[in-house]
Structure 1
């Protein structure tokens, strides 16, 4: 059975300003969702439902006035409903869900996506998607559940939670539950940010940018696989500079093992420098090893550099008088001095 995916990007919030009548929009959210949908189309067998501020699967929304906005809660519920109500023993192997938009965090393990028709702090319709995943984990519809949420994790206890209630066990699953991978843009009580990182400095979600880089190979382990552990470490590794220089750290509350992609590693150039600061002569053979996994790569120095295709990890570069440790993380540049 094909995998399924629901991708949501809400960028237009015409009445979510402080007074309930002014906008509080996110310039990058729609394109972030489009980019994730494109990645899913190219790299997975998933049937993708794409819901954004501008359209649902390519069909423009119908709105009554300039202050009306979509999607609203019922629009997103409609995407989930076929899976929730299905009595078939299985709907697909995997369910992917991605969201970009404003959000809130009722507790550390959860996030709520705020809908486009929110009005200030007085009317904040939202969808607590991790609660839906908890329900799906005990059903047989999917064997693996993957959730990526590029939303704030700020606490707002006055906001009503929207956990699914009164759902029958339409296809109850015997233990163990389905595997789950959840990753959020920021930790509990923290904001997430957009930045000028798209083509031409266009705004994009910092978390989504890192997520796609990881899926495209930067999070591959020593064998070239992007698995739960390597992707989780890549997302957590290092801070992303947000507003006012505040660091944004991703949160990964559940990372059951599953394979996301098999990728060639990025190529890093490393300075072939001896402890006294001298560069090794061209043609000198250096070795790169990893103390935690079986790995031995060799390369010849060229104009003071050696190049290796490797993933995130801790490495030792040696040979020709060179003896240095190299740590490659989520934000490591391709040229390592």
Structure 2
């Protein structure tokens, strides 16, 4: 069994350039995946993971020689195969086959569902007639009943449109290091439910981001923290259930409401421990006085947006806040409030 003394591992992939994926081998590029992969890699690194990052620009700090055709399938599969080789090396040395407490797999780009259970990321060399892809969720399942990791987290920011005629690469070889007692804990989240689009749109700074990844990182950085200051599977579910997200479909030019993220696996996992800054309250319940489902933003000191979503039941939202002056904006309505050292955990507007 893996131990907490071993570093967490993470594989982060963002594919934004697809030179020949469109009709008649035309480009079908995305703007968000490279930025999103960089932000996710930074978050994972800050939280103690050993991160392998692969994007359309390069593998880590190494740039591609043929930029527009990478990363190809073998580039994305390589770090997964390295985990397998690392495990075999431990076995050959007579040591326990434990690579870390947690493996996190993050992939963003075009994708499809090759079966009802799985989701695959399309790689850069794909064309409209030949879809090169890697089935990330098959790797999750392959590792799940082995001793490599105690927890496996997989976040997929790509479309989930079913295409059962296409095939995608899965792990080769039977599992060799079975767990003695139960499976590893699994948390697998797709940007959208089965057979739907994922979305990207400009953020408040005009940078195009995947809507799912942007909201996921907000949640991981504290917006989804529970009363104990932890971001968990349960608190992440609650956060997404209360978020009203819209955007532009990654595969079309039309605007539409973005579906809620889909939890394929939802074992309870502590994803982050939020350390509160001086003057920060554990969690504030803001009673907006507006109907449930009302779209709103909350900004601190007229600058930073700390909430961008919809009002929950009875118009209430719950978020951690530092001391400061805040503005809640919902259409033509603006409501100001202040969080001070003596503020309670309930604010009624």
Q: Could you say which TM-score interval applies, normalised by the shorter chain?
A: 0.7 to 0.9
* Structure 1 residue 57 corresponds to structure 2 residue 60: yes
* Structure 1 residue 328 corresponds to structure 2 residue 334: no
Kindly state the Cα deviation for residue 233 of structure 1 after the two structures are TM-superposed: 2.7
Match of 2:175 in 1: 169
Written as runs of structure 1 = structure 2, the 5 A alignment for 1:26-45 is 26-42=30-46, 44-45=47-48
Written as runs of structure 1 = structure 2, the 5 A alignment for 1:174-323 is 174-197=180-203, 199=205, 201-243=206-248, 244-263=255-274, 264=276, 265=282, 270=287
| Contact map agreement 2:121 2:135 (CA 8 A) in 1 | yes
Alpha-carbon distance in structure 1 between the residues aligned to 2:288 and 2:111: 43
Alpha-carbon distance in structure 1 between the residues aligned to 2:327 and 2:44: 26
**Structure 1 residues 187 and 314, CA, compared in 2 at 3 Å: closer, same or farther?**
closer
Alpha-carbon distance in structure 1 between the residues aligned to 2:327 and 2:220: 17
Match of 1:130 in 2: 137
RMSD of equivalent CA atoms: 2.6
Alpha-carbon distance in structure 1 between the residues aligned to 2:84 and 2:151: 15
Kindly state the Cα deviation for residue 163 of structure 1 after the two structures are TM-superposed: 2.3
Displacement over 3 Å in runs of 4+: 236-239, 264-273, 312-315
Q: Secondary structure at the match of 1:99?
A: strand
**Structure 1 residues 56 and 261, CA, compared in 2 at 3 Å: closer, same or farther?**
same
Residue ranges of structure 2 left out of the alignment (5+ in a row): 1-5, 91-96, 249-254, 277-281, 291-309, 320-325, 329-334, 336-348
Match of 1:144 in 2: 151
Alpha-carbon distance in structure 1 between the residues aligned to 2:241 and 2:120: 20
* Structure 1 residue 19 corresponds to structure 2 residue 24: yes
| Contact map agreement 2:115 2:163 (CA 8 A) in 1 | no
Deviation readout 1:178-223 (Å, 9 max, x if unpaired):
1110111011000001001152x11000000110010011111122
Match of 1:47 in 2: 50
Moved more, 264-273 or 244-253: 264-273
Alpha-carbon distance in structure 2 between the residues aligned to 1:84 and 1:18: 37
Alpha-carbon distance in structure 2 between the residues aligned to 1:334 and 1:255: 35
Deviation readout 1:79-106 (Å, 9 max, x if unpaired):
1112123223101111011111000012
Match of 2:107 in 1: 99
| Contact map agreement 1:106 1:157 (CA 8 A) in 2 | yes
Residue ranges of structure 1 left out of the alignment (5+ in a row): 274-311, 316-324
Alpha-carbon distance in structure 1 between the residues aligned to 2:327 and 2:237: 21
Alpha-carbon distance in structure 1 between the residues aligned to 2:61 and 2:145: 33
Alpha-carbon distance in structure 2 between the residues aligned to 1:142 and 1:225: 21
* Structure 1 residue 113 corresponds to structure 2 residue 121: yes
**Structure 1 residues 143 and 101, CA, compared in 2 at 3 Å: closer, same or farther?**
same
Alpha-carbon distance in structure 2 between the residues aligned to 1:32 and 1:155: 24
Q: Secondary structure at the match of 1:176?
A: coil
Q: Secondary structure at the match of 1:132?
A: helix
Match of 1:290 in 2: none
| Contact map agreement 2:284 2:318 (CA 8 A) in 1 | no
| Contact map agreement 2:286 2:318 (CA 8 A) in 1 | no
